[in-house]
Amino acid sequence: MIFNIQKCSIHDGNGLRTLVFFKGCPLRCPWCANPESQSYTADIGEYPNKCIGCGLCRDRCPQNAIAADGHINRQFCLEECKNCTDICYAEAKRNIGKDYTIEELYKEIKKDKIFYDIKGGGVTFSGGEPLTHGKYLKEIAEVCQKNRINVCIESCGYSKFEEFKDALPFIDEMFMDIKLIDSQKHKEIIGAGNELILENIRKISEYGIPITIRTPVVPGYTDEPENIAGIAEFISTLPTVKEYELLAYHNLGESKYAALGKEYLLKGVKPPSDEDMIKLVKLANSILNKYGKKCFYMKDNKKEEGTKC
């Protein structure tokens, strides 16, 4: 299942890219900017500022779960029931998640082929966790590769190697997250240890796929210097990793939690400052540079490597 196809993205790979977001993720990072990606089934999103107050959804709801202000009391919702999203013409209630056949998905990806060909763009499968959709991923990646479309994967790395290994021959490049190097902390915060992730990264790297490692810098969670240094140390042993990108935490996903009737746990956490980011970038570079690798973060569309400060 796919929850979004976004055209003309400039991140997550070279050139102009189409991002395909898979639905479903085994991890639960509290800072997740795409909470609608977590469940493996379709969700109902609520967007009250689009509501025109027509009341059609209330009339249609078999459970009387919708209040006068249009808000859904989700504990009453029936599984798979989408009556309210079907009737909501204003799209104040929207179904999130759609199944695509390989053919349908390829048709969407192909639409921007002419753009990919110009500056080396292509498709990026993201999520959710694409590696947990191994068979489907393999099929679509194979079609793309046959048609000379560059394939990138953005992944948290948490999936059985057996599940996705058949897809590897059709992948050109990967972006893989390491959130925390300490497995205990990883387990406490995200709900699972990081052993499987680190092992997958090592195997994928040994398989020969170029990887960029990424860490979201979330104040109070992942921004300890020891964490970044530890990840950098790990990276220094990986043959196909050239770059380590730090991503500054942002709270742009916050409103999505409300739309899904979920609670946002990081309320009040401020994005890290440029200064903080540069400090961590420098720290990582002090470890990585001697291995011919580098760390950076993106600022104003430019890679900031902390060399000038």
Partner 1 sequence: MLTQRIIRLNDKVRNTEPTIDLDRARLITEFYSQPSMDNYILRRAKAFKYFLENKKIFIDEDSQIAGHAGACIQGVPLHPDVTKWLYDDFETLDNRISDHLHFRNEEEKEELREIVNKWHGNTFGDFASELLEDDVRDMVDALVFTHGISNQSTMNHTPDYDNLIKYGYRHYINRCKKALEEHSCNDVYDMEQRINWEAMIIVMEAIISFAHRYADLAETQAAECTDAKRKEELLTLAENCRIVPEFAPKTFLQAAQLVWFTHLAIVSEAAGGDHCLGRFDQYMYPFFEKETAEGRDEVYFQEIIHEFKLKIAELWNIRQYKESIAVPGCPLWMHVMLGGVKENGKDACNELTNVFLRCLLDLQTDEPCISFRYHPNVNEETFRLAIRAARDTGGHPAFYNDTSAIMYLLSLGFTLKEARNWGICGCIEPVVCGITDFQTNSGNFNVNKILEITLHNGYDPVSKKQLGIKTGDPKDFKCIEDVMKAFEAQLDFFMEKFIDMANTTLAGHAFTLPTITASCFSVGCIEKGKLLQQKGSDHHYTTVSIASMANLIDSFAAMEECVFNKKYITMEELLNLMDTNFEGNESKRQLLINKAPKFGNNIEQADKYGEWFVDTIDRSMKRFKDSHGGQWTSLHATVVYNVAMGKTVGAMPDGRLAFTPLADNASPMIGMDTNGPTAVVNSLAFCDELVPQSGMLLNQRFDPTIAAGEKGIDIIESVFRAHFAQNGYHIQINVLDDETLLAAQKEPDKYKNIIVRVAGYSAYFVELGKEIQDNIIQRTIQKGL
Site residues (vs partner 1, CB under 8 A) = 6-11, 15-16, 19, 52, 54, 56, 89-91, 111-112, 114-115, 118-119, 121, 300-302
CB-based contact 241:178 (threshold 8 Å): no
* DSSP run (H or E) holding 229: helix 225-235
What is the CA angle 243-247-249, rounded to 5? 165
Residue 308: DSSP 8-state: -
Closest approach, Cβ 260 to partner 1, in A, equals 19
52 or 309, CB closer to partner 1?
52
Closest approach, Cβ 205 to partner 1, in A, equals 26
Q: How far apart are CA 150 and CA 170, in angstroms?
A: 9
7 or 28, CB closer to partner 1?
7
CB-based contact 144:2 (threshold 8 Å): no
- Tell the residue number behind the tokens 């979330």, with chain if given: 218
- Closest residue by Cα to residue 150 from 21, 245, 13: 13
114 or 309, CB closer to partner 1?
114
Closest approach, Cβ 59 to partner 1, in A, equals 11
52 or 67, CB closer to partner 1?
52
Closest approach, Cβ 251 to partner 1, in A, equals 16
- Tell the residue number behind the tokens 């140390």, with chain if given: 233
Q: How far apart are CA 259 and CA 257, in angstroms?
A: 5
112 or 139, CB closer to partner 1?
112
49 or 301, CB closer to partner 1?
301
Closest approach, Cβ 150 to partner 1, in A, equals 14
- Closest residue by Cα to residue 24 from 165, 94, 162, 128: 128
Closest approach, Cβ 26 to partner 1, in A, equals 24
- Closest residue by Cα to residue 43 from 100, 101, 108, 93: 93
